[in-house]
Structure 1
């Protein structure tokens, strides 16, 4: 079973931008988080939204450091991801919100840790009204009650 999951993830991580994002928001978030765990910019970049594409291009050509992606509290949460995510919810701006960690008093914590704090979530966007492919916008902090109040479908 683990080999099948790993093989599926490998396919996601190496798929072209057009194909990679024709999948559900939960799978896109998972692929991004696997890239964080591996600290692999090239695994995350295909899932970028239009706004962040320039940033990933700058990392690829060496004019920008990947430190912004992997350092700090958000980077630590991504690097330390334990494989758990909560169901996708949608905010009023149409963004997909996928919690994967908790902002604890002592730093990021796993979802199942019991630590109190806001969720840390992958935020995905669509680049235009016609776009059907989710793109990585950011890692944001979401209050638990705010997440609970978000729509479960688009």
Structure 2
């Protein structure tokens, strides 16, 4: 991202250039890509660009917060970055409210990791993840645990599929 693009992003978002320049390269490169892919010709285009940049700015801000959480708690940054975005936001917001709640942050991380394979389970059994998320937490953890222990990339996983379908059957 060059200085002109940095200034333009800051102007569009109404934030300081410093708040953008401290973000990681992934976010800054994505912001640059927004400029390269969307030509601003009308108000609709302006709205699209603003929303895309704002989403990236928020994500970048969460990533900065995750760096602080990792340094403060000892939770590995790679672990925090592997979590779903909603959990990342929750951890950062709770950290900003009270950074002394280290046990709570570990609890949030562990709960998120326990169901981190839900997307893979969804693909395996052919059920949209949006239908698995409303299941009770314990069932989500159990099906993800079964997947983690029994999935075999070199198999059809027929028994695993049957087991998981039985676990989610009403």
Normalised by the size of structure 2, how large is the TM-score? 0.27
* Greater relative contact order structure (CA < 8 Å, 6+ sep): 1
Of Structure 1 and Structure 2, the greater helix share is in: 2
Of Structure 1 and Structure 2, the greater strand share is in: 1
Normalised by the size of structure 1, how large is the TM-score? 0.29
Larger Rg: 1 or 2? 2
